[in-house]
Chains A and B, each alone.
Chain A
Amino acid sequence: MARKLPLIHRYLRKDKKFPTVWCPGCGIGVVLGSLIRAIHNSGLSKDDVVLVSGIGCTGRMPVYVDFNTLHTTHGRALTFASGVRLANPKLKVITVMGDGDAIAIGGNHFIHACRRNIEITAIVVNNFIYGMTGGQFSPTTPTGDISATSPFGNIAQSVDICELARDCGASYVARSTIYHVNEMEKQIARAVTTSGFSVVEVLSTCYSRYGKLNQKGSPREMFRALKDQTVPIAKADGDGRISRGVFIDRAEAAYSDTYQTIVAKAREHDGGEPLPLLNPTRPGGTP
């Protein structure tokens, strides 16, 4: 009897060469699996999903999956995604970014995507390090931790991605981990059906860089630590564990929806006839 393939195989690109670029013990594949299942359960058509990424290990996610996929420049995923979403509001635009991609080089774009509350879902895979370039500290590397560029310990504070997103105006903000797959999947499913800007931060593991540099043990132990060192929001008691769960879920006016009211206002004010294309011709003519 033929073994039934898991659901995710229906979404993987058959003509793409596998395996993935990710190291053994990496958590990114777990996030990709959850993302696929959440998209599937949300009933979205593959044709309508645009998966956008920046640079880094997480940035390699889109190439493997059968959506419209866009692997952009470092930190800029949200800018390309904003263009896609505004240009075609029927599309469901999801960005996948790492912590350095989303919050360091892309920090400004992240803030402004939140502020506009534009209809994009941002999955931020936070593994506390720049993995692809060999383990340099990122904005989420805990203070004191060792990295390839902080051999004596990271002296900066780390940023709380969820607090940042909430304070800047995102509609939906949640955090989970690759240990809590069901919880993550539910959060992503909710995020992709939210009308405004939605953020799901997923705490993940970088065994081969962050883990080794900071003696975090085996990948299994690192997975386990995500259970031990996090706590549901309702049970958080200030003992230093990181809160998991939904930080905000609010219905605010979203950007491209609101743009339609500007269109209506402009038409009312203008009263002019739409500017016609000057004699559209077939492609291949003389410019």
Chain B
Amino acid sequence: MQETTTEIRFASPKRYIEESLIFKKSQLGEVGFLSGNEACAYGALAAGLSFYAGYPITPSTEIAEILSYRMPALGRVFIQMEDEIASMGAIIGASLTGRKSMTATSGPGFSLMQENLGYACIAEVPCVVVNVQRGGPSTGSPTSPAQGDLMQARWGTHGDHPIIALYPASVQEAFELTMVAFNLAEKYRTPVVFLMDEVIGHMREKVVFPKEGQIPVLERRKPPKGLERFQPFAEDGGLVPPMAAFGEGYRYHVTGLHHDPAGYPTLRPDEINRWFERVFAKIEQNLDEILLYREEDLEDAETVVVSCGITARSARAAARSARARGQKVGTLTLQTIWPFPEKVLRQLGSRVRRILVPELNRGQLILEIQRCVRNPEVEIRGINRLDGGVITPAQILEKLEERSWPGNSH
């Protein structure tokens, strides 16, 4: 049978849609079987994504492919830019016109995005930056899982700045947390980094789509119309200034320089200080809402496995096995990785004896845990893997049962 041009052009994305799901209103609350990258793309659409700019890179590319197919039909914008620097610039520009914006990439592209990610931080522009992590540094292992970008997500762009980074441990969470990422970005006027593991991005799992209203969709706060004078970065009625869209009548200035409440460049120490205080406070004063994590069997736990992403899946399996063998083991899975849940870890450190931190890097998460847990009685150990494989439940179980742990010798 002869194919039409249109069918050829849409061949690849069409496959994704047909094999997984055609996401329509009627399917909300229903079940799908899809990959984490697909879940992220659909979660973004469900959250109101209306501008996507990106550059192809493994292992994130399916997100762009799906959106190149879905976005035009929804009257939303998809553009493939010349590189990741441009992609990041484009989503910031689009967000300033009022659109919910996103890009998706992996390690090398995430490195290129750091420049304009910093711009989104200083200009407080809501956007979502997906990083489906792969092995690094540099080109590294493009098709292998790694969790080496945790610190880059926090400190990748220069200068002090707050950031929010979310981290799904399942395809279900990839869908739901993508929606949350947009909500947090819009509500707090901040870029949100969405860290996925290659395994989460490419693994297929059952997803129960949230019912309508189950996960609310937030819109950014706008200034009231007809103000005599609009100060785009003033603390009027809260730490998060309302955001006017370009073209709606409030003509204001946006810059990557330190700026005063009117948006104009400033070198005044008091204004620069006030800006830092405000942007950190808007995150730090809302940790109850921003910090997401999942606890399992912590009530009586003497040992806790703390992890994120795909490693958390192995951790939970290992913890259950250990418990079945009589060890009091629980798990803490971090869904919000930045800001770091310092208080949660500090409290945990006051009541457990051992903390095990498996991660697909040389020890990034463990640094934060060592910083937060101030109880010298707690033994903190890591399991690290960097060779492109995942940490298995058996590896974690073996580590949990090592005789060298304090209290394990008997």
Contacts and interface: CB of A to CB of B under 8 A. Distances in A.
Interface in B72-86: 72-75, 77, 79, 81-83, 85-86
Given A70-B93, A72-B89, A266 B69 contact: yes
Contacts of B350: none
A69 B25 contact: no
A276 B92 CA distance: 24
A76 B92 CA distance: 11
A84 B51 CA distance: 10
Interface in A59-73: 62-63, 66-73
B6 A265 contact: yes
Contacts of A276: 25
Given A16-B264, A277-B48, A283-B187, A83 B218 contact: no
A82 interface: yes
Interface string B204-217: 00000010111111
Contacts of B25: 273, 275-276
A228 interface: no
A262 interface: yes
A4 interface: no
B81 A82 contact: yes
Contact of B216 (A13, A108, A111, A286): A286
Nearest to A16: B264
Interface stretch (B138-146, B195-203, B245-253, B366-374): B245-253
Contacts of B12: none
A277 B73 contact: no
A88 B246 contact: yes
Interface in A40-73: 46-48, 50, 52, 62-63, 66-73
A246 B317 CA distance: 70
B91 interface: yes
A79 B85 contact: yes
Given A15-B262, A66-B251, A286-B216, A83 B92 contact: yes
Nearest to A93: B93
B28 A68 contact: no
Contacts of B97: 83-84, 87-88, 91
Give the interface size class of chain A.
35 or more
Contact of B93 (A48, A80, A279, A285): A80
Contacts of B253: 13, 62-63, 69-71
A87 B28 contact: no
Interface in A175-223: none
B410 interface: no
Contacts of A238: none
A281 B216 CA distance: 6
A84 B96 contact: yes
B217 A76 contact: no
A284 interface: yes
Nearest to B288: A286
B147 interface: no
Contacts of B72: 259, 262-263, 265-267
Contacts of A285: 216, 218
A71 B255 contact: yes
A81 B93 contact: yes
B82 A71 contact: no
A79 B86 contact: yes
A6 to B, nearest CB: 20
B27 to A, nearest CB: 10
A269 B89 contact: no
Given A71-B255, A269-B10, A274-B75, A82 B115 contact: no
B71 to A, nearest CB: 8
B89 A87 contact: no
A76 B85 contact: yes
Contacts of B99: 87-88
A37 interface: no
A62 B254 CA distance: 10
B89 A83 contact: yes
Interface string A78-102: 1111111111101100000000000
Residue among A16, A87, A109, A275 with max Cβ neighbours from chain B (10 Å): A87
A80 B247 CA distance: 15
A259 B24 CA distance: 24
Contacts of B69: 266, 270
A17 interface: yes
Contacts of B70: 270, 275
A84 B93 contact: yes
A284 B217 CA distance: 11
A70 B86 CA distance: 15
B219 A86 contact: no
A287 interface: yes
B46 interface: yes
A112 interface: yes
Given A86-B90, A108-B82, A287-B187, A71 B246 contact: no
Interface string B239-268: 000000111110111111100001011000
Contact of B46 (A62, A76, A81, A278): A278
Contact of B119 (A72, A109, A263): A72
B41 to A, nearest CB: 11
Nearest to A271: B73
B220 interface: yes
B94 interface: yes
Contacts of A82: 79, 81, 86, 89-90, 93
12 contacts: A67-B251, A80-B89, A83-B90, A83-B94, A85-B93, A265-B6, A270-B70, A270-B73, A274-B75, A278-B179, A287-B187, A287-B218
Sorted nearest first, the 9 A-B pairs with minimum C-beta distance are: A83-B93, A79-B89, A287-B183, A83-B90, A266-B72, A87-B94, A80-B93, A279-B213, A71-B255
